[in-house]
Chains A and B, each alone.
Chain A
Amino acid sequence: MVNFAGLACAIVMLTAQTPHLVAPGTVEAATRAKIRVVAVDARVENRAQKHFDRGLESVKPALKDLDYDAFYLLKSAEVNCDFDKQTDIQISADYTLHVTPIEKTADGRVRLRCQITMPPKTPGGESVSALNTTLLMAPGKHLNLGGLKLKDGELIVVLSLRG
């Protein structure tokens, strides 16, 4: 019958389109997370219009609502971070970013531990964890880590998870 042929056709065509689907609640096997890191020196300079250094175009949406009017690029890097392994990125002379992807969830987000450390307060001491956070990071979205002092401004680190 024609309808049997139609149903068979439907099953074939629909199943051909769905191999990428992941059952809810499962965790995809992932070995690496590609993370873009942009470190910014944010200042208040009483400008009439906010200034963004060249190279900050991609993170401008994440920065524009913060109470600064000048954003200077300190560092921009894209790193492939192994899961369950800490990746260290030197941001400035004083600050180092440590990123550890923990797992990828079924909805595509990555559980991430981020830490910014700074030199010890006293010589010979241990470095200080200036900021330590754990989060579920959505692909394509930005994350701001900020508030730490720089010489003339404040440090803002913008992280984004690549697709």
Chain B
Amino acid sequence: MKTCRFESKVEQWFDGESDDAGAVEHHLTRCAACADYVQILRVTREGALAVAGGRPAISDAQWPTFVSGIREEIETQQNRYNRGWWAMLSLVSASLVVATSVFYMITGPQKPAVADTTIESYSTEIDGATTESFYTDNGTATVWVNLPEGDMW
């Protein structure tokens, strides 16, 4: 709301477009309404700059809240990261367990290697006969009686 007929000239001066800056500045020293209007224009310009991307001013009173807000955001991001990491680890663990279990169920329990037959002792009561043990070419354990020539009875 314009209250002084110089206000349009004051606006041009404020925007740096005045042809007669000296006259406007002289008027401002004498017109309280125009002086107030200039103050309003300054506040408006600063607000517009802030909205348009200019750096907002943070007062000393606002600083603790500003810092705590930053800290809170960082911690939130860290928690999100940690949750993601644990979720990934859990997924990998579960997948490994399932894969191992399925493999184990499909292949069945590992049977222990079958030990060979082991001859521990051997003997004969046949007079003149001897005994021996050996394995045939295909690994069959064998106990053999070697009889003397002639009638064994």
Residues of A within 8 A of B (CB): 1-3, 5-7, 9-10, 13-14, 17-18, 20-21, 61-62, 64-66, 107-109, 111, 119, 121, 128-149
Contacts and interface: CB of A to CB of B under 8 A. Distances in A.
Contacts of A9: 94, 97-98, 101
Contact of A143 (B104, B143, B145): B143
B50 interface: no
Nearest to B90: A2
27 contacts: A2-B90, A2-B91, A3-B89, A6-B90, A6-B97, A7-B93, A9-B94, A13-B105, A17-B104, A20-B109, A61-B140, A108-B112, A108-B114, A109-B117, A131-B145, A132-B122, A132-B124, A133-B121, A134-B122, A136-B115, A141-B114, A141-B139, A142-B117, A143-B117, A144-B142, A144-B143, A147-B144
Contact of A133 (B104, B116, B122): B122
B120 interface: yes
Contact of A142 (B101, B120, B140): B140
Interface in B100-143: 100-101, 104-105, 109, 112, 114-126, 129, 131, 133, 136-143
Contact of B123 (A10, A64, A132, A136): A132
Given A109-B115, A144-B140, A147-B145, 7 more contacts: A1-B90, A13-B97, A61-B138, A62-B140, A65-B136, A141-B140, A142-B140
A145 B134 CA distance: 11
B33 interface: no
Interface residues of B, number: 46
Between A66, A107, A131, A145, the greatest number of chain B beta carbons within 10 A of the residue's beta carbon is seen for A131
B31 interface: no
B53 to A, nearest CB: 44
A3 B153 contact: no
Contact of A66 (B96, B114, B136): B136
Nearest to A2: B90
B86 interface: yes
B122 A131 contact: yes
A135 B144 contact: no
A108 B118 CA distance: 13
Nearest to B142: A144
Between A17, A65, A142, A147, the greatest number of chain B beta carbons within 10 A of the residue's beta carbon is seen for A147
A136 B117 contact: yes
Contacts of B100: 10
B117 A137 contact: yes
A134 B129 CA distance: 18
Nearest to A137: B117
A9 B96 CA distance: 11
B74 interface: no
Contact of B119 (A14, A20, A133): A133
